Chain A
Amino acid sequence: MKVISLTEYKLMLPMLELVIFALGILLIDLIIPRDWKWLNAVGAFVGLFFAAVCVWQIQATLPGGAVGFSGALLVDHFAVFFWYLFLAAAGITVLMSERYLDLEDEHSGEYYALLLLSVVGMMCMAAGIDVVLIFIGLELMAISTYVLVGFLRRERRSNEAAIKYFLLGAFSSGIFAYGLSIFYGLAGSTNLQEIHRSILAQNPRHPVIVIALLTTMTGLFFKIAAVPFHQWAPDAYEGAPTSISGFMSVAVKAAAWAMLLRILIFALFPLRSVYVPIVVFVAIATMTLANFAALSQTNTKRLLAYSSIAHVGYMLLAFVAMGTSEPGSPAFSDGFKGILIYLLVYTFMNLGAFAVITSLRQRQVIGDELEDMAGLYHRAPVEAVLMLLFLLSLAGIPPAAGFLGKYYIFLSLVESRHYGLAALGVIYSLLGLYYYLKIANAMLIRESKETKPLFVSIGMRCAVGVTALATIVIGIYPEPFIQGVSRSLPTWAKPTAPTLRQ
């Protein structure tokens, strides 16, 4: 019998550590008194920090990538990149949550425990190269998020959002699992490398393969909220606690993208002639519908939900560029870098925007309508200016970081000769500027009903500050981040022969 070695456990040390912290928070929450509930937030933050240190230690001893657990777990630079991203997003979310939960009177340890457990699920999704591990990670993430979305038990909208998200999510997971099971039947293995090898030998237009591909893609597109599987996103984001809306729009989405790249690029790349036309259609539909729907929103959370769907559309454009060019060519690597950098940048700018919206929640104000933004500049000048930075970054205006992501995406499109798609993407980005500036207009120009200054807690100040700093730094000095992203590329450039160290 094969015994699992200790080095393999070292690979999943960050996950083990997060699970221990999550369980610890659950237990400690039972004994601490009400006034000390902020200790839970501290515990969660410390856990995330330790996990980040563990990841850093793994990364330092990681030449090309290491596999463990009978080839189910692959820790390469790609996985490490996403692990850092999830941990950063969760850390900022914890900073945002402390006072918000206090105001909502739902301050309990389960929130932080579920947050940490969903990060564990995401880590499995990013590092798994076995569909069973990927699927279990997906479910761990999804079930934790279903509960988090419905965490405001006394709020009708929160319950409604959780039920909608749960029903649609469970259904799409079922379809996704169905597709994966057909691939298992075709390959005789659940390992993505084996699936890749057996797909290479077969006709990509065989009906069984096409059905498997379509069902798998349905699941993947649902998880990244691409049109026509996007309808859960605005409802879920609107009803969820604002901090969780922010977390879902960045971390959950990034995890779904990691899974999508692992499956469609790593394993199913030989089928690209079949799936690229579908992705082109989905990308155009996503950008069109999301941008036009966002124009008429009056709820800021809903508006940002549609904007996050639109951003998925831009990233899908980069995916098209990758799918239509050869691995190793500039268009392929620029498309890949584009998606990863976009996810990184998007994490900070979108979480920043959600942090500002979260800080609008006060004792008597829910604060998620566009009206509540009015006159923010007079009530909280620093937050208003930073919000403007996040909005401009989301719209893709240099020197904010959002420009960098868009630059790589359009570069890869031009390199792969998709001039039409590139033009369409630019036009829709301009359209996006309109609804971002609508928020800015309310903030800076309109008069406020309230005049007294907005109280912003220390944790929230840190969250807004860190995200703003990251948005500016990545925008002005992107070199280290681009290099970091490029390092995750080499094992991917030749999907047929991944360099794995046994």
Chain B
Amino acid sequence: MPQNYVPIFLFLAVIGTMIPATLLIARLVRTQRPTREKLLPYECGIDPHDNARGRYTVRYYVVAILFVIFDVETIFLFPWAVKFKALGVFGLIEMLVFLGVLIVGYAWVWKRGALEWV
């Protein structure tokens, strides 16, 4: 119902005015004395020594993907462990099937050599 959306539009309007207004006021009020240190990109306090758009090896990509897959596995294990009693044998079998599928994937990844850092 359209009238239910009125608060959302109000909210959007407030955001749309507040942010430019604060930025503009800050710009008018503050003093501007840029130095070389201030203009450097912030990298944990260490001086950056390379271009941020540099290339890095594709091997990180494989590791990251594998990490996501096996990380999700543990996320699914947690709620199952919490509700273990309520789910009973049914839950146990389901989880074993799930783990079985993942172990096949793990064996495949291992044998294919995706875990080697060549």
A residues whose Cβ falls under 8 Å from a Cβ of B: 1, 3-4, 19, 23, 26-27, 30
Q: Is the CB of A4 within 8 A of B108?
A: no
Q: Is the CB of B104 within 8 A of A27?
A: yes
In angstroms, Cα B87 to Cα A1, docked, is 8
13 A–B pairs (Cβ distance < 8 Å), ordered by A: A1-B86, A1-B87, A3-B90, A4-B90, A23-B101, A23-B104, A26-B104, A26-B108, A27-B107, A27-B108, A30-B107, A30-B108, A30-B112
Given A27-B107, A30-B111, 14 more pairs with CB closer than 8 A: A1-B86, A1-B87, A3-B90, A4-B90, A19-B101, A23-B101, A23-B104, A26-B104, A26-B108, A27-B104, A27-B108, A30-B107, A30-B108, A30-B112
Q: For the complex formed, measure the closest distance between the CB of A151 and the CB atoms of chain B, giving whole angstroms.
A: 15
Q: For the complex formed, measure the closest distance between the CB of A348 and the CB atoms of chain B, giving whole angstroms.
A: 33
Contacts of B104 in A (CB 8 A): 23, 26-27
Interface size of B by CB at 8 A reads 9
In angstroms, Cα B29 to Cα A175, docked, is 43
Contacts of A27 in B (CB 8 A): 104, 107-108
* Interchain residue pairs A-B with the least CB separation, the first 9: A30-B111, A23-B104, A26-B108, A3-B90, A27-B104, A1-B86, A26-B104, A27-B107, A23-B101
Chain B 91-118 interface 0/1 with A at a Cβ cutoff of 8 Å (1 = within) = 0000000000100100110011000000
In angstroms, Cα B111 to Cα A27, docked, is 9
In angstroms, Cα B72 to Cα A188, docked, is 28
Dominant secondary structure of chain A at its interface with chain B: helix
Q: For the complex formed, measure the closest distance between the CB of B2 and the CB atoms of chain A, giving whole angstroms.
A: 8
In angstroms, Cα B112 to Cα A27, docked, is 11
In angstroms, Cα B97 to Cα A19, docked, is 11
Residue of A nearest to B108 (CB): A26
Contacts of A30 in B (CB 8 A): 107-108, 111-112
Q: For the complex formed, measure the closest distance between the CB of A209 and the CB atoms of chain B, giving whole angstroms.
A: 12
In angstroms, Cα B87 to Cα A3, docked, is 9
Contacts of A23 in B (CB 8 A): 101, 104
Q: For the complex formed, measure the closest distance between the CB of B13 and the CB atoms of chain A, giving whole angstroms.
A: 19
Q: For the complex formed, measure the closest distance between the CB of A182 and the CB atoms of chain B, giving whole angstroms.
A: 13
Contacts of B101 in A (CB 8 A): 19, 23
In angstroms, Cα B100 to Cα A27, docked, is 12
Q: For the complex formed, measure the closest distance between the CB of B106 and the CB atoms of chain A, giving whole angstroms.
A: 11
In angstroms, Cα B44 to Cα A487, docked, is 68
In angstroms, Cα B90 to Cα A205, docked, is 46
In angstroms, Cα B104 to Cα A3, docked, is 27
Q: For the complex formed, measure the closest distance between the CB of A17 and the CB atoms of chain B, giving whole angstroms.
A: 13
Contacts of A3 in B (CB 8 A): 90
Q: For the complex formed, measure the closest distance between the CB of B72 and the CB atoms of chain A, giving whole angstroms.
A: 14
Contacts of B90 in A (CB 8 A): 3-4
Q: For the complex formed, measure the closest distance between the CB of B64 and the CB atoms of chain A, giving whole angstroms.
A: 17
Contacts of A4 in B (CB 8 A): 90
In angstroms, Cα B107 to Cα A4, docked, is 30
Residue of B nearest to A4 (CB): B90
Contacts of A26 in B (CB 8 A): 104, 108
Q: For the complex formed, measure the closest distance between the CB of A121 and the CB atoms of chain B, giving whole angstroms.
A: 15
Among B90, B101, B108, B112, which residue has the most Cβ atoms of chain A within 10 A? B108
Q: For the complex formed, measure the closest distance between the CB of A207 and the CB atoms of chain B, giving whole angstroms.
A: 8
In angstroms, Cα B104 to Cα A4, docked, is 25
In angstroms, Cα B104 to Cα A30, docked, is 11
Residue of A nearest to B112 (CB): A30
In angstroms, Cα B108 to Cα A3, docked, is 33
In angstroms, Cα B107 to Cα A26, docked, is 10
